[in-house]
Amino acid sequence: MVLYKGPRLLDLAKTPEHLQFNKYVLTGYRPVSTAQECLRSLFYMHNELGNIYTHGALPIIHITLLCYPAVRTIALLAYILLSAYGIYSATTARTNVLRLRAFAWQALFRFSLFLFRVYGSGVGSPDSLRLFVIMDSLAVLGGVVNIIQIPERFSPGLFDNWGNSHQIMHVMVICAIIYLHWGTLEDLAWIKSYQCPTE
C-alpha cells in the first residue's frame, strides 16, 4: 500500500526510545512526526500501518454495535467505557506488563459478571455464557501473544510490517468483540422470552 512516498524510515537503533516497544521489530519505524505527517502515514508502508488500521477497526465496530437499538444495554456501555480506559492506559504505559495491567479493571468487571452468572445471582441465556468464555479466551490469548512477542521473537525482522504480535492481538480483540456482540444478542433474545417465576 504505497499511495504516498513517505519519509525515510528508521531502524530500531535510530528510533526514539519511547517508540521502541518491541525489540524484535527491527525496521520500518516512522520518524517523529507532526500531526499532518501522521495523517500522511496512513498511505505509505511502515511497521505501524497494520496497528493503525486495526486500531481504527475497533471504534467502528463499537459504534456499529451501538447503533442496534437492542444492544444499547448498560453492561455494553460499561464494557466500552472500560475498554476506552484500558486503551488509554495501555498507550501511556512504558512496558508490556504495564500495558496488560491497564486492562485489569476491564478483566475484573467481566470476571465479576461471569461469577454472577455461574453462581445464580445473574441470569441470561444458557447459550450465551459459552460465547462470553470464547470472548475472554480470545482477549487473554491476544494479550499473552503480545506480551511474549510471538512470532517475531523467533524471526526478528521477518514480521516488521505484517503479522507481528501486536497486530495479532488487535485481530484477536476484534474477534472477541464480535463474540461479545453475539453473546449480548443471545441474552437479549432470552430476556424477551423469559418469564419471571411467580412466588
pLDDT > 70 fraction of the chain, expressed in percent and rounded:
76
Sequence ranges of the binding site: 166, 170
| 115-119 average pLDDT score | 82
pLDDT in tens, 122-173: 778 888 889 989 998 998 899 889 889 999 999 999 999 999 999 999 899 8
165 vs 148: CA distance, rounded Å = 8
Q: What does R_g of the chain's alpha carbons equal in angstroms? A: 20
Q: What is the DSSP letter of 155?
A: S
Q: What are phi and psi of 44, to 5 degrees?
A: -140, 160
Sequence ranges of the binding site for Zn(2+): 166, 170
Q: Give the largest Cα separation in the chain, rounded.
A: 73
Mean pLDDT of the chain: 81
At residue 77's C-alpha, the angle toward residues 72 and 81, to 5°, is 160
Its pTM stands at 0.76
Contact 136, 110 (CB under 8 A): yes
